[in-house]
Chains A and B, each alone.
Chain A
């Protein structure tokens, strides 16, 4: 196969980027999209042009590192597929392919197709955990968990934190990412103690990071490589409402003045 690539090139966060076009020959249908990018980089190195920088690691769809907008869609045209698991057989010989980084004010470009997603880590730091130390713990079977609940919590926990939801959203909202973590922990008995603080703190952090608000476009669900459902956003909103209505009590049990 022969393809024409238009790739976003940008030297660093401050530099002005632009699309560059490259013709690439020798692409085969069984190549993954990232192997095609490897091939492009080999060719560029041969021509003494600096290779295209992109994030990637596991190349089997679970680490969440790869992050390319391919022909306008986060992770490309295949549903529930990360870029690393997208194969060239889904493109025609002679195709023109546009490759861009995630576009969001909260994800600044680091170089070419790599972006800074540390905002996601900071949202988790705001409450995406069950406070815990290492050491002896209660026998897990002493707290039975209904298998349906455990499975739904796992559906939410399957989020790989790639950021496609943000890239797909016309508003650049991180609601699906945040809701997935809030729901995963909020559904389980272990996560109840911090449930309402968690939803408030994580959503506050989300707004501080500069992500947009949710307008129910549902593009996030459509382009999520793990098929995380927007029903979790509804669940988070419901928890958020309950948290806002609850009487504010601080950690020592004193009631705040209203």
Chain B
């Protein structure tokens, strides 16, 4: 069994982080250059961590598989970043942001972590502005805010629809400053293949140069994983094409506990797939539901154009099923209902998996120009992708996998169950519970990278006895051989199926069996299908080319292999969590209103899976969750 000591601070929650920080041990400036820290990933959390730690004087090596650290998928976040600055004087505070985040996560997160996140939110804005992030300003030159995702205050800071891009470029420029100062060494087009554990601690990694295929050993005192989420296990998601779970799965196989793998956020409004060739999904902001009416034709196999379908043949299913909330029901309800009507054959578009989002009524009452000006960017983006003008014909939308709340288990210091191995950003599980609120992913990445990890990693290093381990240690040779054998194996199968076709098939299984809604039956079905697909992968995958050159099929094969194992873990977690909470919707546990029904008596814990060896079932460990500052609440749907 894993030892899950979360190292949670005691005492009043509003002083917890300060007190905890004051107790952490420090490494003096003269000693910092003696320690080597590896940062895997260069998105918001990785770049901010590497830049911050490098600036303190530690020796840092940062890795990314892209050609530049500026490409990481944090760049695609559109809406904004929350901070409880209370600039609008509308009653916002650290406490309110904490409560909103904890409630949003449906009480499946540690409250100390969530409170700390809220507490650090304001410093993130200060940090970003000092880097030159051009946030939107009001006429007087002060920072502007907007509201987001169903909260009652305006606390979201933004740069048009490219907040993630600007924050990432801020972190990237800080990273490049440290690279220029030689405190950070950057390894681009480099993938971390495995970890070297010596005496129970992580002491390095084996990396692969994606241009030459060369494997390199890196010895280190600490390793920080900032490798993002695993939404691409579904093949189709709003993640970037190359996002993967490999770094996390390989850490898991070396002893890091994996927490809450089944928590997946599905966004209700993305542009639907247009065919089997679809490679990824693009999000459309949820704000569209304010003016759009969602409907499908009542008749199956409707062949008329949407404009020719009379009112009586249109099924405004959200308005009919949820008369009080109508089209503005919560994200998860909107997503489940869209899938439901499509499963019943009423879906629209070439694949039958799409519903109409119709601005006809809004245009009639407010005028086309008013509606257009409100959603100009979105309409343009939609038009570019689909060639349809939403002011002329209804948009087609469908839910898409967007964010994964689960990740490596970490303690309050963001350290995994492997000493010396840390996880930050979407790669850890810590702050969002079973559901993440809008505009809080950027906040979490930067809180972890700029403010938490720089002090907690020092505490760990200060307790470490300096030794003389080098890459000549036999364990490095052993792991390198294992990596090499793994690559050779993939190249030697020489079957018929491309890695992409297997990944796509896995995605379909995950979507059917562990998607918007899950049941014991569906999850068990998934657990039968995935091992069969894995067998097919190892018997019939075709990876052409060689190891000693750039080989994108080989890279993908390694990632698909890990997705296959991970998909199984996800289904197992979903099956064991026999309750509904946040985004995890078990069909067996529904309130009479059709909402997720939590079971706090039996499931107020974090599921942490421990690797038990190849072919063996992962071992479930539980970290109980306590709710003292903010007592558990049951949502009241009747009033």
Contact = CB atoms under 8 A, between A and B. Distances in A.
A12 B165 contact: no
A214 interface: no
Q: How large is the interface on B (under 10, 10 to 19, 20 to 34, 35 or more residues)?
A: 35 or more
Given A38-B279, A114-B550, A150 B134 contact: yes
B75 A58 contact: yes
Contacts of A65: 66-67, 71
Contacts of A34: 279
B173 A130 contact: yes
Contact of A58 (B76, B123, B169): B76
B10 interface: no
A251 B358 CA distance: 61
A129 interface: yes
B402 interface: no
16 contacts: A31-B274, A45-B498, A58-B240, A60-B280, A65-B71, A87-B384, A116-B67, A128-B176, A129-B174, A134-B127, A134-B454, A141-B143, A154-B162, A158-B162, A188-B134, A190-B130
A253 interface: no
Interface in B94-153: 123, 125-127, 129-132, 134-143
Interface of A: 11-12, 28-32, 34-35, 38-39, 41-42, 45-46, 48-51, 53, 55-60, 62-65, 81, 85, 87, 89, 110-111, 114, 116-118, 120-121, 124-126, 128-141, 144-147, 150-151, 153-154, 157-158, 160-161, 184-185, 188, 190-191
A99 B135 CA distance: 38
Given A12-B550, A158-B162, A147 B137 contact: yes
Interface stretch (B425-433, B526-534, B541-549): B541-549
Contact of A154 (B69, B134, B277): B134
Contacts of A144: 137, 140-142
B36 to A, nearest CB: 20
B71 A28 contact: no
Contact of A124 (B137, B176, B553): B176
Given A30-B386, A154-B134, 16 more contacts: A28-B274, A50-B544, A59-B241, A63-B66, A110-B211, A117-B67, A134-B127, A140-B129, A144-B140, A146-B141, A150-B137, A154-B162, A154-B166, A157-B132, A190-B131, A191-B132
A38 B500 contact: yes
Given A39-B277, A58-B73, A150 B162 contact: no
Contact of A12 (B132, B240, B549): B549
A150 B545 CA distance: 49
B549 A139 contact: no
A85 B271 CA distance: 13
B384 A81 contact: yes
B464 to A, nearest CB: 23
A164 to B, nearest CB: 15
Contact of B130 (A29, A59, A130, A160): A130
B275 A121 contact: no
A137 to B, nearest CB: 4
Interface stretch (B48-56, B195-203, B256-264): B48-56
Contacts of A130: 130-132, 173
A129 B166 CA distance: 13
A135 B130 CA distance: 10
Interface string B172-208: 1110110110000010110000000000000000000
Given A87-B385, A134-B48, A136-B126, A147 B160 contact: no
B242 interface: yes
The 6 closest A-B pairs by CB, nearest first: A144-B141, A129-B173, A140-B129, A137-B126, A134-B52, A125-B180
B68 interface: yes
Contacts of B350: 30
B52 A89 contact: no
Contacts of A136: 123, 126
Nearest to A32: B279
Given A42-B498, A58-B76, A63-B71, A51 B553 contact: yes
B176 A121 contact: yes
Contact of B549 (A11, A57, A85): A11
